[in-house]
């Protein structure tokens, strides 16, 4: 779902970069207003878990893969504003450290996934999450979050002048729909597992025993250290679309890092490169979210 540099026209990425700054800034201010200091550990663990889950690609058909975006999952557990800031932190680290998603296209990716995707994912839960439709609203939020992010990415490519034959566009939408349904199913499964460990986790995740946080942390570690070794290698929806439309050759990286492609380039063995890359990302995202949470907590107490 991450758009690389070179896919979007200059007017599109410049406009969305400019729009992303006040949008994320507004989310930061909103997160500060209702932030609970006890949520600081949850912020770090949820951010790290979603980062690790995004590294695990799974097949969705026709040589294409997808991965959990996690926008709805973050919104349910952190609230939409804190979730948006957490997702923005994940996207920034992915682009700057792992070369996943463009640096110039970071604004569009943040608008698509950290702002619109998170808010769309939270909407069904906000409307129907308190009653008999709670489980359905969690599923619908996961589906809507992924679909909104995908449709916005497609629209940005079209506005940028990327020519998509109707057949390719239809197949891409179908694959994004499959990925969105899986996003909803995974979101329901994760929330269900957390609430079996700690009842009412979504409503009051800061209260009760820390078993749910421990389970999330362990799951994140396993995904980052072991899951990356078995993740599907086929391109995701945006990458596949780039190949089909002939714009894949436009993809460019402004600079390289030792962790490009989620692998530690300074190690020889393949599995060690992947595992260390995943664990390094986990630590970076956890640290970034923790720093943000503590900074907000200090500002509120001051």
- Beta strand spans in the chain (E): 58-61, 64-66
- 97 found inside a domain: yes
Integer distance in angstroms from the first to the last C-alpha of the chain?
39
User: Which CATH number belongs to the domain containing residue 25 in this structure?
Assistant: 1.10.1760.20
236 bridge partner residues: 65
Q: In degrees rounded to 5, what are phi and psi of residue 235?
A: -65, 155
- 90 found inside a domain: yes
Specify the number of domains making up the chain: 1
- Smallest CA-to-CA distance from 47 within 81, 6, 88 is with 88
Cβ atoms of residues 297 and 37 within 8 Å:
yes
- 2 found inside a domain: no
- 71 found inside a domain: yes
At residue 34, the pLDDT reads 72
Mind spelling out the 3-state secondary structure of 261-276? HHCCCCCCCHHHHHHH
Residue corresponding to tokens 């896919």: 7
pLDDT tens sequence across 58-114? 999 888 999 999 999 999 999 999 999 999 999 999 999 999 999 999 999 999 999
Task: Give the Cα-Cα-Cα angle 223, 224, 227 (nearest 5 degrees).
Answer: 45
At residue 62, the pLDDT reads 80
- 25 found inside a domain: yes
Number of DSSP helices (H) and strands (E) in the chain, helices first: 12, 2
Residue corresponding to tokens 């990425």: 13
At residue 36, the pLDDT reads 76
- 3 found inside a domain: no
**C-alpha pair distances (Å), 141 with each of 158, 179, 199, 227:** 26, 13, 20, 25
**C-alpha pair distances (Å), 120 with each of 152, 182, 244, 302:** 12, 16, 28, 33
Calpha distance 95→103 (Å, rounded): 6
At residue 263, the pLDDT reads 92
Q: In order along the chain (302 residues), what is the average pLDDT of each group of 10 residues?
A: 94 98 95 81 94 94 91 95 96 96 97 98 93 94 98 97 93 94 97 89 64 91 90 91 92 90 88 93 96 83 62
At residue 35, the pLDDT reads 77
Range of the domain at 279: 10-301
- 4 found inside a domain: no
pLDDT tens sequence across 209-222? 578 889 999 999 99
At residue 205, the pLDDT reads 58
- 145 found inside a domain: yes
């Amino acid at each position: 779902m991450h758009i690389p540099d070179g896919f979007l026209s200059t007017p599109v990425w410049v406009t969305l970069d400019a729009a992303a700054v006040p949008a994320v800034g507004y989310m930061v201010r909103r997160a500060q207003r209702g932030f609970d200091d006890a949520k600081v550990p949850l912020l770090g663990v949820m951010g790290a878990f979603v980062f690790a889950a995004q590294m695990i690609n799974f097949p969705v058909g026709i040589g294409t893969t997808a991965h959990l975006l996690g926008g709805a999952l973050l919104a349910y557990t952190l609230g939409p504003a804190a979730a948006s800031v957490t997702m923005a932190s994940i996207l920034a680290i992915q682009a700057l450290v792992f070369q996943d998603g463009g640096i110039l296209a970071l604004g569009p990716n943040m608008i698509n996934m950290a702002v619109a995707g998170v808010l769309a994912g939270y909407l069904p839960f906000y409307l129907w999450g308190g009653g008999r439709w709670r489980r359905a609203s969690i599923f619908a939020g996961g589906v809507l979050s992924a679909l909104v992010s995908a449709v916005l990415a497609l629209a940005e490519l079209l506005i940028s002048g990327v020519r998509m034959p109707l057949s390719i566009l239809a197949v891409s939408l179908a694959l994004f729909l499959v990925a969105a349904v899986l996003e909803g199913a995974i979101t329901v499964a994760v929330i269900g597992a957390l609430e079996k460990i700690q009842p009412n986790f979504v409503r009051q995740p800061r209260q009760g025993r820390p078993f749910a946080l421990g389970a999330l942390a362990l799951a994140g570690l396993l995904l980052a250290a072991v899951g990356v070794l078995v993740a599907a290698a086929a391109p995701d929806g945006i990458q596949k679309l780039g190949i089909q439309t002939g714009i894949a050759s436009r993809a460019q990286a402004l600079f390289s890092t030792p962790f490009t492609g989620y692998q530690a380039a300074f190690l020889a063995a393949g599995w060690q490169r992947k595992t260390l890359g995943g664990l390094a990302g986990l630590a970076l995202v956890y640290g970034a979210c923790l720093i943000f949470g503590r900074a907000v907590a200090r500002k509120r107490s001051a």
